[in-house]
A and B are shown apart, each in its own frame.
Chain A
């Protein structure tokens, strides 16, 4: 299980770096929203993999709150973008 979760962490690290690359590359505001959203999904996955590795649920509250805050942030910025019109 240690090996499997280490591989998972490695893959999530690659995914997070690619999301960050998309975030800093030139693009529209929607591009950045999508990139940050993906980065948050990667973070939540990382917390779940950590729980699977240790077998304890100490961080699972963080997982629930993070995914909810991610949705809230996405909706907020999307509505802001729609009103601003850019």
Chain B
């Protein structure tokens, strides 16, 4: 194994480890928002680590470009998707865990201000 292979292996293994930890958190955490907190880490960092590890291993520069493109797209789309899911979950009235210490949207009404005039749908 060359040095590049060792680095690629470390990146792949750490990315996969993040995925496994997130999947465990998905089953252990009490409510949707805590589960999203666990699930959205590997969606950016974990996947990016795996993609960089794979980019070190493929030979063709076009393949490296495809991996970087996928990483870039994921980097921009994953937070947007997570934000939309969280907003929809809150507005749909998903109950929070009893352990929740602070709900800053509670003052805006039960649907998080979705019914207020001028709110984008």
Chain A residues packing against B (C-beta within 8 Å)? 1, 4-5, 7-8, 11-12, 14-19, 21-22, 25, 27-31, 33-35, 37-38, 41-42, 44-45, 48-49, 51-53, 55-57, 60-61, 63-64, 67-68, 70-71, 74-75, 78-79, 81-86
Contact = CB atoms under 8 A, between A and B. Distances in A.
A79 B36 CA distance: 17
B13 A75 contact: no
Interface of B: 1, 5, 8-9, 12-13, 15-17, 19-20, 22-24, 26-27, 32, 35-36, 39, 42-43, 46-47, 50-51, 53-54, 56-60, 62-63, 66-67, 69-70, 73-74, 77-78, 80-81, 84-85, 87-89, 91-94, 114, 121
A18 B42 CA distance: 14
Is chain A's binding surface mostly helix, strand, loop or mixed?
helix
B35 A34 contact: yes
Contacts of A8: 12-13, 16, 50
